[in-house]
Structure 1
Amino acid sequence: MFNMFDDFFDDSFVEPKNDTLLCDVKEDDKNYEMNISMPGYNKDDIKLDLTNGYLTISASSHKDHDEKDKEGHLIRQERYHGALSRSFYVGDDLTSEDVKAKYDNGELHITLPKATKQVENKAHIAIE
């Protein structure tokens, strides 16, 4: 017999994507701005590292959770508990002082300066 309630909670119908840090990247004349939605994390749960031109954003959540509620068992638990990480190549010229980060209301905002264009300094040399 068809049971609509069971089908509603089938993993193939509703499957959360909790294993990736989703990022929006914007740019203006001077900077790139990255916005990463990280609801449920505290500022202390998030770590940024800059190594060999790669900016790595990692976060870990170690919240205690119980498989049961007060009245019985949970039907489905979708809150994420664990660690996430994502790396972006930002270039070898950036230092940690160049990267600005702020965490506010579940959003991590990162500002990276664009590389300054090197002007070709070309001069004609007269031959004697």
Structure 2
Amino acid sequence: MKALTRWNPFREMEELERRMSALLNWRPFGRQTMTLVEDEDITVPEWSPLVDIVEDEKEYLIKVELPEVQKDDVRVTVEGGTLTISGERKAEKEQKGRRFHRIERYYGRFERSFAIPDDAEADNVKAEFKDGVLRVHLPKSEKARPKQIEVQVA
């Protein structure tokens, strides 16, 4: 007699991924791995900086983690209702007498794009970069901000 089991529509895909990974040391739906030292995998994530988006009554604030990225290597653009943050984290150059035993952080170009809300003033975007964090300020239009209405006594 067979036991009842819950059907998982992704079980076949997960099994296929597991077999491909074992066969080719390849992760089609996740992180890529590279073997630099025998019997040791190094995981290299896709390069997409982490972002927090915060809203208050005056503005939207986008905070982007960009450790070891230089200010001159970051670009913020607004075009066609889209805010795009792009740039590059450059790899360390090899120096005589130094060997890398492990390289897990990703270097290279990145790009993140966000739709600009209708109540934001795209022409007044400001950006500042400090301590490895990019802060992009997107002010709300005056008419979109909440207004306090005084209640009159009749």
Fold shared, TM-score > 0.5 on shorter chain: yes
> How big is the shift at 1:60?
1.4
Runs of at least 5 residues in structure 1 that lack an aligned partner in the other structure: 119-128
**Deviations 1:21-63, CA, capped at 9 Å, x for gaps:** 2101111111111111101111100001101000000011344
The one-letter code of the counterpart of 2:60 is Y
Amino acid at match of 1:10: D
| CA distance in structure 2 between the aligned counterparts of 1:27 and 1:6, rounded to whole angstroms | 48
Task: State whether residues 88 and 109 of structure 2, in contact with CA within 8 Å, keep that contact through their aligned partners in structure 1.
Answer: yes
Larger helix fraction of residues? 2
1:72-119 CA-to-partner distances (Å, cap 9, x unmatched) read x532213432100000001466334x111100010001111124339x
1:1-128 pair list within 5 angstroms: 9-11=40-42, 15-66=43-94, 70=97, 73-91=99-117, 94-96=121-123, 98-115=124-141, 116-117=143-144
Counterpart contact for 2:49–2:66, Cα < 8 Å: yes
Amino acid at match of 1:55: L
The DSSP-based 3-state class of the residue aligned with 2:72 is helix
Which has the bigger relative contact order, CA under 8 A and spacing at least 6? 1
Structure 2 unaligned residues grouped into runs of 5+: 1-36, 146-154
Structure-2-length-normalised TM-score: 0.58
Secondary structure of the corresponding residue to residue 10 of structure 1: strand
> What is the Cα-based RMSD across aligned positions, in Å?
2.7
Letter aligned with residue 87 of structure 2:
A
CA contact (8 A) 1:53 1:94 kept: no
Partners in 1 of 2:61 and 2:117 — Cα distance?
15
Of 74-83 and 98-107, more deviation after overlay is shown by: 74-83
Q: Secondary structure at the match of 1:36?
A: strand
